[in-house]
Amino acid sequence: MRHFEFQDIILDHYSRYPKMQLKDLYKLVHQAAMGSEHAVKDIQSARQWLEREIEILPGQSDEPVIDPITPDQSLVRVHLKPYLDSGGDPKSLLRSYIRTANEYQGSKEVLKQFWECTKGSVNQGDLPFAPGDLDLFFNHMASLDFPAVHHSEQYQVAYAPHYRVLYQGFLIQGNFSFDSPEK
């Protein structure tokens, strides 16, 4: 992996979300390396969570429908409001999310590589975080075995994020139907 490719993703996100905190940066790195974070064991709860989230979506969104979070674009954030506004089917989105969560195999080694790219952006002064704070945060997450985290309160208040992380191989962008990944 060429470091600048993931750095471009980080810098793009920071330019769109300048209130991003270290926790949000870690969340982006974690999702890019690990996928949807955890297996979905309760499909009904996942369905209800999506339905509740759809009910509270803002009136409009400047987000793209599909937001690649990996250099090879294998993992994406699908933003709910633009997805639905573009004719996307919530049931298809839910199926893809569940399939991604249950089948995508993340990598802690990739997470570490992506974090090194992040450190490069911080060390170059492209992100407003102190290198020491970045190291402390990452070491703390490593000591906890790299758990998934929620967005920071600042990020949630400023941007009201509503998306699902999906494996791009399950998504056909043209009509938002889902397909099996190439194996």
In whole angstroms, what is the distance from residue 96 CA to residue 167 CA?
Answer: 8
Task: For 110-132, write each residue's pLDDT tens digit.
Answer: 999 999 999 999 999 999 999 99
- Identify whether the C-beta of residue 68 lies closer than 8 Å to the C-beta of residue 75: yes
What are the residue boundaries of the structural domains of the chain, listed by start?
A: 3-170
| pLDDT tens digits, one per residue of 46-59 | 999 999 999 999 88
Q: Could you read off the pLDDT of 5-51 as tens digits, one per residue? A: 999 999 999 999 999 999 999 999 999 999 987 778 889 999 999 99
Statement: residue 4 has pLDDT above 60: yes
DSSP 145: T
Which two three-digit tokens encode residue 11? 């810098």
At residue 2, the pLDDT reads 53
Q: Is 137 exposed, middle or buried (0-12, 13-18, 19+ CB in 10 A)?
A: middle
